Amino acid sequence: MQIVHPGILQVRTPALNFYVLRDEEGLYVIDGGFVGGVRMLQNTLRQHGWNDLPIRGILVTHGHLDHIFNVAYLAKTTGAWIAATRLDALHYAGKPHYEGNSRVTGWLEATGRFALGYQRFQPDRWLDDGDRIEILSGIKTVHLPGHTQGHMGFLLEKERLLFTADLFVSYRAGGRLPLEIFNNDSAENVRSIGKALGLKPAGVLPNHGSDAPPDVHLQRMERLFERVKCAGHEDYS
C-alpha cells in the first residue's frame, strides 16, 4: 500500500492492485478489486486518513471479473456513479462473449459469477476513446484493446501518469504480457502497448505488478515492448 502521488492511493491485494483518486470533491475508485477488495479498500483508506471522505465515482477499465466484482456493491453502498468502457457492456451484464483461447477465461468467470454471487450493474456513463473526466487535473480515456475489446487506460493529463489496467504485468523480474487465455487478441494487446508508449507518459500504473514507482513500471513496459517487437513477426509500431 502506498501513496504514489498526493492524489493517488494504491490498494494492494493478493489478486491485483487497484487505485483511489482524491480531489476536492472526494474519492474515485478505479475498478475496485476482487474477493476481499472492499475490506482492503476500507483498511487502506483508514490507514491513510482518507476514510471519512465520500466515494463519488467508480471508473471501470475493463470487464474481467477480477476488476468489476465489487463495482455494484460499492456503487450501492456509497451512492457513487459508475463510468465504464462502452465496448465491455456484456461483461457488466454478466454475459461476456469469449472466443479462441480466451474461452478458458469465460469458463472460469462463469464459475466465479455463480459461486461468488456476482452483482450485475449498468454504468451511469459510457466511456469512449478520448473522453475527458473532470477528476484531479483531468483524466483522458485511452482505448487500449486486446486484453478485452473495450480495455481502457486512464491518462492523468497534467502529471502524465497512465493507469494501464491489464495492458501488461509488471513485477521485479520485469514486464510481461498477460497470458494468452486472458486476452481477447494478444497481437492487438501489443499494438496497444505501442499506443500507450506513444503518449509519452512520465510513468504508468498497472493493476498487476509490484509496488515499484510509476517510472520503474514504465521502464519495464518499454523493455517488454522492445523484446516483443524483436521476437515477433508482425508490425507492432
SS3 1: coil
Query: Tell me, what's the pLDDT at 176?
Result: 95
pLDDT tens, position by position, 190-225: 999 999 999 999 999 999 999 999 999 999 999 999
Delimit the domains of the chain by residue range: 2-231
Grid cell for residue 123: 454504468
Which CATH code, of 3.40.190.10, 3.60.15.10, 3.90.1200.10, 1.10.287.3510, is assigned to 2-231?
Answer: 3.60.15.10
- Give the model's confidence band at 237: pLDDT under 50 very low, under 70 low, under 90 confident, else very high: very low
The candidate with the shortest Cα–Cα distance to 33, out of 51, 60, 4, is: 60
Query: Tell me, what's the pLDDT at 5?
Result: 80
Give the residue carrying C-alpha cell 457513487. Answer: 80
> Angle at Cα 170 formed by Cα 166 and Cα 171, nearest 5°?
140
Where are the alpha helices (H) located in 140-203, listed in sequence order? 186-198
Residues 6+ apart with CB under 8 A from 105: 64, 98, 181, 182
Q: Is the pLDDT of residue 1 over 50?
A: no
Q: Rounded to 5 degrees, what are φ and ψ at 229? A: -60, -40
Residues 6+ apart with CB under 8 A from 46: none
Query: Tell me, what's the pLDDT at 195?
Result: 98
69: number of Cβ within 10 Å = 25
Query: Tell me, what's the pLDDT at 3?
Result: 66
Q: How far is CA 227 from the centre of its chain?
A: 23
CB of 53 within 8 A of CB of 155?
Answer: no
- Give the model's confidence band at 229: pLDDT under 50 very low, under 70 low, under 90 confident, else very high: confident
Query: Tell me, what's the pLDDT at 34?
Result: 94
Q: Is the pLDDT of residue 234 over 70?
A: no
